[in-house]
Amino acid sequence: METVKNGTIKFYVELVQLVVYIPTFTVGVIFNVLALWFAFCKIRKATETVIYVVSLIILDTLLLFTLPFKIISYHQPTWQLGTVFCSFLESLYFINMYGSILISVCICVDRYIAIRHPFLAVTLRSPKKAAIICTVICSGIWAGAASTFQLHEDSGARNSCFYGFSDKTWQSTGLFVTLETAFLGSVATMIFCTAHIIIYLKRREDLYNPLTNTSKSVKILTANLITFVVCFTPFHLALLLYVLVKNQVINDSEQITRSFVQISLCWANLNCCLDAICYHFVFKESLKNMLPEHDRTISSD
């Protein structure tokens, strides 16, 4: 009876993965390729926000590359593409997810400094500094890629990829505390910055003045925050529950909790498509700033 139940759960998880991952991969690749083309061919001025967004596009594209292999790994009884390639894919998948999280926070903090502290922004903000921050983040998360090579305990052929991690991995309390703390800290930072910006802009008499870009900033930040919270919160909740179940802190069905983790990961990867909303507002703002002042006013009417 238990075997039948587990088989049914596995079937529905596989179905959800196919329904979510195939459109996510297809639409995400199209959106990200178009966004990269637009950024390099149409946007002639690399502002701080554009640099952060291009970094986000690259990280999302690398993550999207792993999705077909993730589908294959879950539908094949044995992983047949090699241990090293599996570790490489897991690095792209898990590490780039947190790279996207940190870049999203940078976009939010950058807007907060530019709008709430314009005089300080002269010192803190510049395209060069944005590029350095993105380089440091990408270097840092890739330095953490070594941890993904230890997710499985094996010395020979690997039987699974993207799942079937060792008990030692799930007992790594420090790793999961770090991940959850990074996520909660990111959420708190983005909510703080977004709320203060919106409150500040609503107090300004020229909020809806067509000569300003303040309403665009609200749209960028709101889209960024909603996408972030909606996509990543279920996964981090599921991850916390599963770690507690694996360490027998709470009693619950391991199969059901594992399925929750896998489905919430599918949901989190929708971020690669929904980020296109942020791209739209950023590129629209950048194009508008490139226009002469007279044309800029007309385009806002």
Q: How far apart are CA 159 and CA 93, in angstroms?
A: 18
Of 4-18, 182-196, 215-229, 282-296, the one with minimum mean pLDDT is 282-296
Please give the pLDDT value at position 221. Answer: 74
Please give the pLDDT value at position 297. Answer: 44
Please give the pLDDT value at position 227. Answer: 83
Question: Which whole number is the average pLDDT over 95-99?
Answer: 86
Please give the pLDDT value at position 296. Answer: 44
pLDDT tens-digit series, residues 102-160 = 998 998 899 899 888 888 888 889 999 999 999 999 888 877 766 666 666 654 445 77
Higher pLDDT, 28 or 79: 28
Q: Would the pLDDT of 229 be above 60?
A: yes
Please give the pLDDT value at position 201. Answer: 79
Q: Would the pLDDT of 205 be above 60?
A: no
Q: How far apart are CA 235 and CA 257, in angstroms?
A: 11
Band the pLDDT of 232: cuts 50, 70, 90: very high
Band the pLDDT of 290: cuts 50, 70, 90: low
Higher pLDDT, 61 or 284: 61
Superfamily of domain 2-151+163-284: Rhodopsin 7-helix transmembrane proteins (1.20.1070.10)
Higher pLDDT, 111 or 248: 111
Higher pLDDT, 172 or 291: 172
Boundaries of every domain in the chain: 2-151+163-284
Question: Which whole number is the average pLDDT over 46-57?
Answer: 88
Question: Which whole number is the average pLDDT over 197-221?
Answer: 65
Band the pLDDT of 215: cuts 50, 70, 90: low
Q: Would the pLDDT of 223 be above 90?
A: no
- CA contacts within 13 A on the Cβ side of 15: 6
CA distances from 81 to 15, 33, 85, 238 (A): 23, 27, 7, 28
Please give the pLDDT value at position 152. Answer: 66
Question: Which whole number is the average pLDDT over 68-95?
Answer: 82
Cβ proximity of 162 and 73 under 8 Å:
yes
Please give the pLDDT value at position 188. Answer: 95
Give φ, ψ of 249 to 5 degrees: -75, -35
Q: How far apart are CA 255 and CA 241, in angstroms?
A: 12
Tokens of 38: 């637009």
3-state secondary structure the chain: CHHHHHHHHHHHHHHHHHHHHHHHHHHHHHHHHHHHHHHHHCCCCCCHHHHHHHHHHHHHHHHHHHHHHHHHHHHCCCCCCCHHHHHHHHHHHHHHHHHHHHHHHHHHHHHHHHHHCHHHHHHHCCHHHHHHHHHHHHHHHHHHHHHHHHCCCCCCCCCCCCCCCCHHHHCCHHHHHHHHHHHHHHHHHHHHHHHHHHHHHHCCCCCCCCCCCHHHHHHHHHHHHHHHHHHHHHHHHHHHHHHHHHCCCCCCCHHHHHHHHHHHHHHHCCHHHHHHHHHHHHHHHHHHHHCCHHHHHHHHC
Question: Which whole number is the average pLDDT over 217-229?
Answer: 79
Which residues, in sequence order, are CB contacts of 8 under 8 Å at separation 6+? none
Query: Which residue is associated with the tokens 């498509």?
Result: 273
- What angle (nearest 5°) sits at the alpha carbon of residue 13, between those of residues 71 and 70? 15
Query: Which residue is associated with the tokens 């052929």?
Result: 157
Please give the pLDDT value at position 34. Answer: 87
pLDDT tens-digit series, residues 4-42 = 556 677 778 888 888 888 999 999 999 888 888 887 877
CA distances from 12 to 9, 18, 204, 262, 267 (A): 5, 10, 51, 11, 15
